[in-house]
Structure 1
Amino acid sequence: MIALGCDHGGYELMQEVIKHLEERGLEYKNFGCYSTESVDYPVYGQAAAKAVASGECDKGIIICGTGIGISISANKIKGIRAALCHDCFSAQATREHNDANMLAMGARVIGPGLALKIVDIFLDTPFSNDERHVRRIGMIE
């Protein structure tokens, strides 16, 4: 199960992500927002992050205008490793090296074509389990 959260700036891109997840047959839980009306991103980023941290959801995808605010907000929740990714290499590396459990993106930074590729890479790339990466994640925690 994938936790989803966005603000008004990320709403339209999130609709593309939802359609893509449905096409892939992946289950998700949408924590909002539900329109382009102005809202506060911490509410939705942290709601999705709490679902991941509690184990209710396995991973999360969060989107705001830049991806910065919503990723900072999600990372305030213990156990969350939200990575802001605007390219495919970063999405792959953060899963392999950091075992990131949430993907953050900025809807005003990237378009839907690239965003959906990043989503796929993030969701499909396993953590490497290399000792050095496990050690470093332990240091973060």
Structure 2
Amino acid sequence: MKIAIGSDHAGFELKNRLVDYLSKKGIEIIDVGTNSTESVDYPDYAKEVGKFVVNKDADFGILICGTGIGMSIAANKIKGIRAALCMIPEMGKLARNHNNANILVLPGRLIGFELATWIVEEFLNADFEGGRHERRINKIAELEE
């Protein structure tokens, strides 16, 4: 599995911890930055991670900013991206099961590392259920046209 990950300054510390955690699990990581706590613009990182996912150079993406809201808004502007802001593990699981989310967004200022890893695990271990959810995903795709 290959994951593209990016954050702004508010998500920098959590991003680095998740990169280490996922790498130790044998997951290939594409870290697009940021590389410090110096202020940066989150849409730049949403765009980079989104490109890797849309071009299928990464299986999934993870984005982190202070609340996760900005990253979610920015990433969902990219055609083909279904970014889901998740704050509890069940949201991570259902984002994949029902919404076929391809980018997980985390709120770096609102959750700790242990909760973040639990959400990531649920997201990565879940599968899209298809069925009735498929037509809804197709309707989302139609909105992009």
Q: TM-score range by the shorter chain?
A: over 0.9
Which residue does 2:65 correspond to in 1?
64
- 2:100 corresponds to 1:86: no
- Give the Cα–Cα distance (whole angstroms) in 1 for the partners of residues 60 and 136 of structure 2: 20
CA displacement 1:59-92 (0-9 Å, x = unmatched): 0000000010011101110000000000011111
CA displacement 1:4-54 (0-9 Å, x = unmatched): 110000000001110110111100101111111100000011110111011
Letter in 1 for 2:134: V
- Give the Cα–Cα distance (whole angstroms) in 1 for the partners of residues 10 and 51 of structure 2: 21
**SS of the residue aligned with 1:9?**
helix
- Give the Cα–Cα distance (whole angstroms) in 2 for the partners of residues 66 and 73 of structure 1: 13
Identity, in percent, stands at 49
CA displacement 1:84-110 (0-9 Å, x = unmatched): 000011111110000100000111110
Matches within 5 A, 1:22-61: 22-61=23-62
Letter in 2 for 1:113: E
Which residue does 1:76 correspond to in 2?
77
User: How many residue pairs align between the two structures?
Assistant: 140
Q: Give structure 1 regions of 4+ aligned residues with deviation exceeding 2 angstroms.
A: none
The alignment's TM-score, normalised by the length of structure 2, stands at: 0.95
Which residue does 1:140 correspond to in 2?
140
**SS of the residue aligned with 2:104?**
strand
- Where structure 2 has 5 or more consecutive residues not aligned to the other structure, the ranges are none
